[in-house]
Amino acid sequence: MVSLRKVYLIAGIISLILYLAGLFTGYFFQRVVFGEVEKNIEKLKKDLENAQLEYMFLTLKAKGSCQILSSLTNELTSRLYFVLNELIKLEGSQDQKVMEVKKDYTMLAIRTWILKSNTKEICEEDVLPVLYFYSIPCEDCLKQGKILDEIKIMYPEKVLTFTIDSGVNLPIVQTLIKSYNITKTPALIIEEQVYQGILSKEELKSIICSRLKNVAC
């Protein structure tokens, strides 16, 4: 007959094995996600450089670049959105490499937002670039993020959202926050207009309909 002490010992060993297996699985999963994010970031850097060169060519009155730039910036925005979703899986990690990759993503998102905003103006694109600031922790930011995801589905390739963590330690992030006088999150910058605090789906739809031409309202 197995003693109670042995039962407890076996149970303890099994629990330890399961715990270590969970740690290993979590670590392995994080490494896989991190590796994919890193590869996508590097590819985005190169493609953004190509888009910026195309923009420089456009500013030399080469109007034929508008269609190319529109396609390039839309693709960059879509891929940034994918990278953001992968980074969310690593949210909360204090790993220095993860923090550096998040900075890389942030720089890419801001540069693409600037490029898309300028391209929209020069090429008269019927799109709406939106710079979205969130913070951690922030319950309203989570709600705003879900609303923006729904808006993205409703207006694909029309409403382009660039998501930024206001807590990322980069000078450009702080410059934007100060320049637009952002004092709380969530905050949205839409064509130089700043909206602080959560916006409902109906409020966002109203803004979109007032600024875009060819959308169903």
Give the CA angle between residues 96, 100, 101 to the nearest 5°.
Answer: 120
Helix, strand, coil distribution of the chain in percent, nearest 5: 65, 10, 25
Question: Is 185 domain-assigned?
Answer: yes
Residue where a domain terminates, one of 103, 124, 145: 124
Residue where a domain terminates, one of 58, 92, 124: 124
Question: Is 189 domain-assigned?
Answer: yes
Provide the edge-to-edge strand list for the sheet that holds 128-134: 159-165, 128-134, 187-190, 193-196
Confidence of residue 122 (pLDDT cuts 50, 70, 90): confident
Contact 144, 186 (CB under 8 A): yes
Residue where a domain terminates, one of 124, 143, 158: 124
Q: Which of 58-62, 74-78, 102-106, 109-113 has the lowest mean pLDDT?
A: 58-62
Both 174 and 117 in one domain: the answer is: no
Strands 187-190 and 159-165 come out as unpaired
Both 37 and 120 in one domain: the answer is: yes
Question: Is 58 domain-assigned?
Answer: yes
Question: Is 50 domain-assigned?
Answer: yes
Both 94 and 105 in one domain: the answer is: yes
Both 139 and 206 in one domain: the answer is: yes
Both 152 and 139 in one domain: the answer is: yes
Both 51 and 130 in one domain: the answer is: no
Question: Is 4 domain-assigned?
Answer: no
Question: Is 12 domain-assigned?
Answer: no
Question: Is 137 domain-assigned?
Answer: yes
Both 158 and 114 in one domain: the answer is: no
- What mean pLDDT value characterizes the chain? 80
Contact 217, 209 (CB under 8 A): yes
Secondary structure (DSSP) of 71-112: HHHHHHHHHHHHHHHHHHTTTT---HHHHHHHHHHHHHHHHH
Both 131 and 114 in one domain: the answer is: no
Tokens of residue 155, six digits: 């207006």
Give the span between the Cα atoms of 80 and 118, in whole angstroms: 18
Confidence of residue 58 (pLDDT cuts 50, 70, 90): low
Both 115 and 72 in one domain: the answer is: yes
Question: Is 6 domain-assigned?
Answer: no
Q: What is the pLDDT of residues 8-47, one digit of tens each?
A: 455 555 554 444 444 444 444 455 556 677 777 777 777 7
Q: Which of 34-48, 81-95, 166-180 has the lowest mean pLDDT?
A: 34-48
Answer positive or negative: Cα dihedral of 49, 88, 172, 130: positive
Both 78 and 160 in one domain: the answer is: no
Looking at the structure of the chain, the number of domains it has is 2
Instruction: Supply the range of the domain harboring residue 138.
Output: 126-212
Q: What is the pLDDT of residues 173-195, one digit of tens each?
A: 999 999 999 999 999 999 889 99
